[in-house]
Structures are given as C-alpha cells and as structure tokens.
Amino acid sequence: MLGYSKNGKVLFCDLEDLELDDNPRKFAHGDYIYTRCPQCGGPSWFDVVKRMGRCFECEMIHRFHTKYRSLSDEEIYKDLGCENVVRKRQRQAAIPPEVFTPQPLGQLGRSYLASRGITPMTLANFPILYEAHYVNRDWICWLNVSGFYELRQIGGENHKWNP
C-alpha cells in the first residue's frame, strides 16, 4: 500500500508497488534498478542497497515501508525479479580480494630505482622502500606517516595507488 510522508515528499512503497521498467536498455546494474514511479508512472531509479529511489518526472522520492528493513538486499532483488543482479553479486563475492604483500626490494625494484638516479648507497641509508606485485602491476612502495602504503608503479607510467 502506498503512503506519503507528512510533508508529502516521500512515497512509501511495498515491493509490489515497484514495477521494473520494461525498457531493456534500463536493465538493473550496480545497486540500481529502473522502475516505474508508483505515483505518476514515469521512469525512475531505485537503489536497493540504500532502499531509496526517485522519479525522473515528478521527482517523488520512493522508499520502502519499514517492514522491509529485515530483508536482505538479495531477497529484495529476487522479489523484484532481478535474478541477474543476485547472480552477479554472488560471483563477485566468490572472488577473494587480492592481498597487498610488500616484499624487500628485489632486482626489479633496485634496477628501476637506479634508472631514476637513486644509488645503492642512498637505499642503504634510507631503507624505507619495498616492492610489491599488486593488481597485475609492479610497484615501489613505502609506509607514509599515516601508516598506509603509498605505491608508485615501476616502469615510469607514473601510476599511483593506495591499497
């Protein structure tokens, strides 16, 4: 059953009130699904993870009634007919996150630093650099004052990364 907030700016919905947009180009992706506005029938979006959406036409904000708070994101996607999103999320969850593991400087890192004019004596006096293989690239890295690693890609493409 539809219900408006006191100020009339939020429309509280049941799952069955959110009808998927039948335009195949508006297929669910990311956390978003595309729906028809329960108020005006216009195109709208809904973020399942945040449990909030909005109509592109009348700009009404859509939220679920509080009774849906106990449902998981997956249950909501399934009830809305978005099995594709559930399968994609399951595939992504099955891939373990890559672990960032700095190693002592090896030949690769030392050669690169030498090519940048950093001598073995400088490295010996400032033993703060490590190297790592991460996200399919090789990096020089060091701990910054905040306790996080800073990375610079070996090879001069000047990529930066914070794991």
Binding site for Zn ion (CB under 5 A): 37, 39-40, 42, 55, 57-58, 60
Q: At closest approach, how far in Å is the CB of 64 from Zn ion?
A: 16
Q: Let me know: does 13 contact 64? Beta carbons within 8 Å.
A: yes
- DSSP letters of 85-135? HHHHHHHHHHSPPPPP--EE--HHHHHHHHHTT--HHHHHH-TT-EEEEET
Q: At closest approach, how far in Å is the CB of 19 from Zn ion?
A: 12
Smaller CB separation from Zn ion, 40 or 108: 40
Smaller CB separation from Zn ion, 41 or 81: 41
Q: At closest approach, how far in Å is the CB of 58 from Zn ion?
A: 3
H/E stretch holding 36: strand 32-36
Smaller CB separation from Zn ion, 55 or 132: 55
Residues written for the chain: 163
Q: At closest approach, how far in Å is the CB of 11 from Zn ion?
A: 8
